[in-house]
Structure 1
């Protein structure tokens, strides 16, 4: 048995057999590019497998050294990778800029950061492990573009339709291109150094040859625009870096627009942080001490057992301890199945996060019923949960040695839970207004009832709704 076979045997101890079979088959038979920057959601869809089980298997495979995980900061406009990181700890900039689009974006974990998986060289060596040896088309496919863009199989043919010229320029070398410029917008762009020069071509056709020089180095310079006329251009390109560059002259035409609009869902950093398997494996290793990363929208659920002190007194410590432990097990199982994650427990209380409000409500409804069933099963009818849900922006941080969240959204969610009685779920206006959450409540025949309350320590008025 070789090393790869041994690793996959180990992976079967923590992942579904169907998913492991698929991953093992890919490592053995798939083309190189299919094992680079793997998109977990696209992979699950193409193979007809559950997304959460595919994500869990890939995370466990990373732990075993079968795959490597990368956190890619990607441009929302062109889907290019602006920064590839082995860990969230190296996302240390408040804003990232895309030279190809001449745009800047605030660093958030909602849709700006994708998580992808690449086979480890110890398991199989693929072309992407040596990016300097890739052709220009494959460099764009495997290195520059994120897994969010749906690229055609024959990328070289498409690139010929959107570029006037493309050059493979070794370190320290120069190249001279003679071009005939059409009217419109052109972009001289290199995906290695992320250097761009925009050309605004208009007016009368030039009778004399025009000249332009572009230098590629590792110094960040603002993207600017040069006005030129249609006609002949002598374009001088100089590589002042220690690696090859791949400059091309792009044409901003309809074909390019159509290419950049071809998108696939991706595993975002926000979704991964709300994944229970990820939290179990990387609870203390996600963020650096003092690091703060913004999330624009995250849903928090707080729960607490009602009258748990009286429960201990009524049934005794041993029985109560067993009930509380079973309650935690059931809640974590339900939360994970609704694509959420338990952030922490304090006493009999649980703090959990979900990517969207509807997932939190779905979990809360199931948690309420599970506690009723558990109480009936153990003949303790008073086993009830008080739950509160709120959605909003927050900061992902490290607190007390583990990945946690900070901000007013967390405070409000905690206070809202305190308003709940034995079987009610109290939610805020932002939760009820979510279109998917409203549809879920209607499907379950539940009508939220508005309450006007003041929350301790919260200056602004907060509208809350009872779901009973």
Structure 2
């Protein structure tokens, strides 16, 4: 049996473990920056329903194949993995990273690398100092990450992107000029161009506006509109991804909404799942190949950073019990395994974390349950089954960076810039919750009679522009106009109500500005308009109508009926919308009146809240 080779390196760093962990645990970024080539992965379903990953790559002309098992980790403390090679000069390679807090607020980073050779080439690699060379590279990268955390470096790791061709450089420069002149760029063109030209591929393969907004410290709407505008000019391509509800990975991706499948299968979790517009269908972006090539394959598929919502992941053998030392903050957690099976939700109050138990069920497979915790500062796992299991403790925010299809399709820029992104003809998609606003002019017939058709039409068009601008500022979209009325959609209740309140509060200024302009033009038109607004939120369906996304259902009908109950200058909200936890504070200082009325199409009287003038 070949001798095992071990090396251990330790470094004292000024940055604390919590600050270093996001970068040292980002094994994909780490490997790319180190120059490790991408590898291909085949996921093979086993008879017991688990999934084994088999990886293959070419390292400097040498074909290598290995089993790529899950990593084990405790967030902000440690990770480890053991790769067993099927082909190539190594039998196995096992990295282990540990982070410990030091008394001065810094960290002690310990990295252990164990391995064994196969054949003459393998023995020569170890004999000629392969591990020592790896250690030198590791130290450089760890210290660079620490410098970045402390503000002494611009990037987490030293990285030189592949050289772009002259044609790619020229095309990027030309598209940058177009983007900078576009109305939705928000002076962010230079940031996006620099990101495309210099960022690591792991940051570009699935470019997410939420992360850009956080990194650049700008409003989310600005990065969304920037990416949509960059898609329109051809700098970025977009992708609709069906995210697995178990692992969060994008297991089905298409370039157009009309290609979006209703169902997908996750080979990593070995489960099938449905697409949900409001939960697990996201939009992401990537540079077009005409400006930067992004290769296929993985730099590291299963590292902790890929699944940042997983705080603890441990592999236990049949019958094994283990304690993971960690203190998790209060909150809701899901307990499960990587292997298909049961799960358990717990509300952790900050005391002893529940013991996590897997045991054989009377039905095929196994169940996950929990018992009262045994200690503060540790999580006890117990595998009472006859098979190896990978235990997971995760938060519920795996969609933290995902911009859902529902969110982006309720934004005005999406409808303005990508009007051809629509559903398949005849298809409808259920939306769990959308908030709708209907507005109409009070006394529009009298307005036309008083001003004449031309002047009244110009005023109506101007009021449409005023409404559209305010709706857009609150991340909504003007779905359509119906005569002098408007239908708008918002992803969240508070966005809709904030927009409605601003419209209501600014209508007086709108009237004054319009009159002042007509006086200056010598027309002196006194044409104050009064708006009626109705808002309601709930389930509905999204469909194509007149080649645009539209909404249908009782939620739509109720919002329209509430608008019909308004008098000029009033705004009516359904009672459920007014009681929403995010909406109620917005109405605290408003003059409200609780009412109910029988509305056409509804069997029972509908309660609502009227905002009086």
Q: 1:67 to 1:378 in 2, by over 3 A?
A: closer
State the Cα distance separating 1:395 from its structure 2 match: 0.7
Q: Summarize the alignment of residues 10-89 of structure 1 with structure 2, pairs less than 5 Å apart.
A: 10-14=178-182, 15-16=184-185, 18-89=187-258
Q: 1:110 aligns with which of 278, 288, 296?
A: 278
Q: 1:29 to 1:344 in 2, by over 3 A?
A: same
| Equivalent position of 1:321 in the other structure | 457
Q: Summarize the alignment of residues 347-426 of structure 1 with structure 2, pairs less than 5 Å apart.
A: 347-379=483-515, 380=526, 382-426=528-572
State the Cα distance separating 1:262 from its structure 2 match: 6.1
Q: 1:438 aligns with which of 564, 584, 591?
A: 584
Q: Deviations over 1:122-170 (max 9, x none)?
A: 110123xx23xx24x248799xx6xxx5389xxxxx99x7569xxxxxx
Q: 1:360 & 1:261 partners in 2: Cα distance?
A: 24
Q: Structure 1 stretch 368-377 or stretch 265-274: which is displaced more?
A: 368-377
Q: Give ranges in structure 2 of 5+ residues lacking alignment.
A: 1-168, 322-335, 341-356, 368-382, 516-525
Q: 2:608 & 2:565 partners in 1: Cα distance?
A: 9
Kept in 2, the 8 Å contact 1:284–1:403? The answer is no
Q: 1:423 & 1:201 partners in 2: Cα distance?
A: 61
Larger RCO (CA within 8 A; separation ≥ 6): 1
Structure 2 residue 419 is matched with structure 1 residue 283: yes
State the Cα distance separating 1:364 from its structure 2 match: 1.2
| Equivalent position of 2:14 in the other structure | none
State the Cα distance separating 1:376 from its structure 2 match: 2.6
| Equivalent position of 2:83 in the other structure | none
Q: 1:432 to 1:98 in 2, by over 3 A?
A: farther
Q: Give ranges in structure 1 of 5+ residues lacking alignment.
A: 153-157, 165-179, 190-199, 204-222, 234-248
Q: 1:326 to 1:252 in 2, by over 3 A?
A: same
Q: 2:470 aligns with which of 314, 330, 334?
A: 334
Kept in 2, the 8 Å contact 1:330–1:370? The answer is no
Q: 1:106 to 1:448 in 2, by over 3 A?
A: farther
Q: 1:441 to 1:265 in 2, by over 3 A?
A: farther
Q: 2:447 & 2:543 partners in 1: Cα distance?
A: 35
State the Cα distance separating 1:104 from its structure 2 match: 6.0
Q: Structure 1 stretch 106-115 or stretch 407-416: which is displaced more?
A: 106-115
Q: 1:467 to 1:202 in 2, by over 3 A?
A: closer
Q: Summarize the alignment of residues 60-209 of structure 1 with structure 2, pairs less than 5 Å apart.
A: 60-93=229-262, 96=264, 98=266, 105-127=273-295, 130-131=296-297, 134-135=298-299, 137-138=300-301, 149-150=307-308, 162=314, 183=320, 187=338
Q: Please, what TM-score do these two structures have when normalized by structure 1?
A: 0.74
Kept in 2, the 8 Å contact 1:388–1:425? The answer is yes
State the Cα distance separating 1:317 from its structure 2 match: 2.1
Kept in 1, the 8 Å contact 2:533–2:571? The answer is yes
Q: Structure 1 stretch 105-114 or stretch 352-361: which is displaced more?
A: 105-114
Q: Determine helix, strand or coil for the equivalent of 1:257.
A: strand
Structure 2 residue 594 is matched with structure 1 residue 450: yes
| Equivalent position of 1:220 in the other structure | none
Q: 1:421 to 1:187 in 2, by over 3 A?
A: closer
Kept in 2, the 8 Å contact 1:201–1:229? The answer is yes
Q: 2:467 & 2:337 partners in 1: Cα distance?
A: 56
| Equivalent position of 2:170 in the other structure | 2
Q: Determine helix, strand or coil for the equivalent of 1:426.
A: strand
Q: 1:431 to 1:151 in 2, by over 3 A?
A: closer
State the Cα distance separating 1:458 from its structure 2 match: 2.0
Q: Deviations over 1:161-201 (max 9, x none)?
A: 7569xxxxxxxxxxxxxxx7564897569xxxxxxxxxx98
Kept in 1, the 8 Å contact 2:437–2:536? The answer is yes
Larger-Rg structure: 2
Q: 1:447 & 1:426 partners in 2: Cα distance?
A: 12
Q: 1:202 & 1:369 partners in 2: Cα distance?
A: 60
* Higher helix fraction (1 or 2): 1
Kept in 1, the 8 Å contact 2:269–2:338? The answer is no
Structure 2 residue 365 is matched with structure 1 residue 225: yes
Q: Determine helix, strand or coil for the equivalent of 1:55.
A: helix
Kept in 1, the 8 Å contact 2:574–2:608? The answer is yes
Q: 1:362 & 1:368 partners in 2: Cα distance?
A: 10
Q: 1:331 & 1:265 partners in 2: Cα distance?
A: 30
Q: Please, what TM-score do these two structures have when normalized by structure 2?
A: 0.58
Q: Deviations over 1:208-253 (max 9, x none)?
A: xxxxxxxxxxxxxxx973899989x9xxxxxxxxxxxxxxx8x433
Aligned-residue CA RMSD in angstroms? Answer: 3.2
Aligned length: 386
Q: 1:408 & 1:8 partners in 2: Cα distance?
A: 45
| Equivalent position of 1:215 in the other structure | none
Q: Deviations over 1:276-312 (max 9, x none)?
A: 0101123343211111111100000000111111111
